[in-house]
Amino acid sequence: MSSIKKIKNIRNLKRKIVCLTAYSKPLAKILDKYCDIILMGDSVATAFYGMKNTREIKLDTMINHAISVRKSIKKSLLVFDMPFNTYRNIKEAKKNVKKVLLKTNCDAIKLESNGKNFKILKTLTNSGIKVMGHIGYTPQYKKNFSPQGLKHNEEIKLINEAKNIEDAGAFAIVLECVNVDLAKKITKNLQIPTIGIGSSKYCDGQILVLDDLIGLSGFYPKFVKKYISLEKILNKVIKKFRNDVIKNNFPKISNTY
Ligand code: KIV
């Protein structure tokens, strides 16, 4: 069964879809053993480059990271997150997606929904490209972080948005910071799987930004479970190195030629 088919049929497999982001070959190598989907996310802008928001990252920079990530993926699905202003109309989307597929050999792309770009998504899926949707808090289009779908009118809008994305041919959809009951409702309403980030256990799968989960990003909203603080561990290690260098304990003879 191809990975896309497996993702689509995940409800029959009766287990959740496991997804994380990766921006480099060494980390993708570890993730590939445990994840169904690895997302080369535009969160690289904030988590890796320290940019103010994800709108600043350039397509070519993301492509370089995806080339690195691709090198160690053997079994997971590699999804490339199309960055801001690269799919504003059909012509632009086709040109940039073609470039991404050619250069990175990714399996699918992800488009953030702005509530209107369903036709662009449909054009891409009609030409055989695998597309993942993304609704709720969509950082490319929403300036301030806030939970989504708390008001009735927002709820209706998100339900329709999800359905439009499914009808446009997406194979899965990310729900970001969508209220619990609404995430449950949307998941029930759709045939394609939902992948939640801050959107409850009722989604068909979960995604987190790896750098948040390992405690390296410095950004830990309540939907993040920080499994380890690599920052703390690295602080200890680098401090030891510093002491070794200062005290002339490194390098030893065994470290020399
Ligand atoms: O860029 C990213 O990492 C994402 C996930 C948070 C879904 O879009």
Q: What is the pLDDT of residues 24-58, one digit of tens each?
A: 999 999 999 999 999 999 999 999 999 999 999 99
Q: How far apart are CA 76 and CA 57, in angstroms?
A: 24
209 CA → ligand 1 middle, Å: 6
Q: How far apart are CA 163 and CA 147, in angstroms?
A: 20
Same-domain check for residues 215 and 254: no
Q: How far apart are CA 230 and CA 237, in angstroms?
A: 10
Q: What is the pLDDT of residue 8?
A: 84
Residue 134: both structure tokens together: 């993304």
Residue spans of the chain under pLDDT 70: 1-2
Same-domain check for residues 26 and 132: yes
Residue 82: both structure tokens together: 């199309």
Q: What is the pLDDT of residue 1?
A: 58
Q: What is the pLDDT of residue 2?
A: 63
Ligand 1: residues within 6 Å at CB?
21, 39, 41-43, 81, 174, 197, 207, 209
Same-domain check for residues 158 and 253: no
Q: What is the pLDDT of residue 6?
A: 86
- Ligand 1 atom closest to 43 (CA): 1
Same-domain check for residues 211 and 111: yes
How far, in whole angstroms, is CA 151 from its chain's centroid? Answer: 26
Residue nearest ligand 1's atom 4 by CA: 41
Same-domain check for residues 240 and 200: no
Nearest 5 degrees, angle CA 61-CA 64-CA 68? 145
H or E segment and range at residue 60 = helix 59-70
The CATH number for 214's domain is: 3.20.20.60
